């Protein structure tokens, strides 16, 4: 995370602050063969403002400022909806730097994605219009996601962000992802 997108902080200043902090951590990571990752994040539950680098252009500007073998991206397709942007567009821009992925899916509880865009600026906590759901049943196009990941020879971890409605839902999400992984990586 890069911190909150606080009023008065310019994009260039925020990118420099975040990049400087990441560069400070990279020697420690390199000595231990650790890859630091940054996620296209939304916001912490306790934050008033969204993630500084939530928007695609800022996220990509930050990535362009950091080139190191021990630094990469954790891609979360659902968070891109919270920025009011297209998750596939972001993935195509960053896919060559993706080292891990959060498999998640969200669906709208009420309203539209346009309604979500209007309220994203300053509500405390998480977006109330969206809910985590069973993977493969929400807004994300996993065939397109896996097609792009296969194109760049992705071989990293995929973690599951699900199970909020119980273990049966989590089991269905695991089954869905295993099927997709087999479909795209055993061809």
Residue-wise pLDDT tens digits, 75-103: 999 988 888 889 999 999 999 999 999 99
Q: Is 65 helix (H, G, I), strand (E, B) or coil?
A: helix
Average pLDDT over residues 135-155: 96
pLDDT digits (tens, 9 = 90+) for 56-66: 999 999 999 99
First-to-last alpha carbon distance for the chain, in angstroms, is: 35
pLDDT, one tens digit per residue, over 10-27 is 999 999 999 999 999 999
pLDDT in tens, 105-118: 988 888 777 776 66
Element (H, E) at 163: none
Sequence-distant (≥ 6) Cβ neighbours of residue 115 within 8 angstroms: 129
SS3 readout for 82-142: HCCCCHHHHHHHHHHHEEEEEECCEEECCCCHHHHHHHCCCCCCCCCCEEECCCCCCCCCH
Q: CA-CA distance, 77 to 99, in Å (whole number)? A: 14
Question: What confidence tier does 165 reach under pLDDT thresholds 50, 70, 90?
Answer: confident
CA distances from 111 to 69, 108, 124 (A): 42, 7, 19
**Residue 40 · residue 54 · CB < 8 Å:** yes
Strand partners, 36: 71
pLDDT beyond 70 at 121: no
Of all residues in the chain, the percent with pLDDT exceeding 90 is: 66
């Amino acid at each position: 995370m890069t911190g909150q997108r606080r009023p008065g902080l310019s994009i260039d200043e925020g990118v420099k602050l975040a990049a400087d902090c990441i560069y400070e951590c990279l020697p420690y990571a390199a000595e231990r063969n650790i890859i630091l990752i940054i996620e296209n994040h939304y916001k912490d539950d306790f934050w008033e403002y969204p993630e500084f680098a939530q928007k695609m252009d800022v996220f990509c500007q930050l990535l362009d400022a950091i080139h190191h073998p021990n630094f990469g991206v954790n891609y979360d397709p659902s968070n891109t909806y919270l920025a009011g942007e297209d998750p596939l567009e972001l993935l195509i821009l960053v896919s060559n730097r993706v080292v891990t992925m959060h498999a998640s899916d969200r669906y709208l509880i009420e309203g539209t994605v346009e309604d979500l865009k209007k309220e994203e600026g300053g509500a405390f906590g998480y977006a109330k219009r969206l809910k985590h759901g069973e993977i493969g049943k929400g807004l994300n196009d996993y065939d397109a996601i896996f097609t792009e990941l296969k194109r760049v020879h992705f071989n990293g971890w995929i973690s599951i962000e699900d199970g909020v409605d119980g273990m049966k839902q989590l089991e269905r999400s695991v089954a869905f992802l295993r099927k997709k992984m087999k479909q795209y990586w055993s061809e």
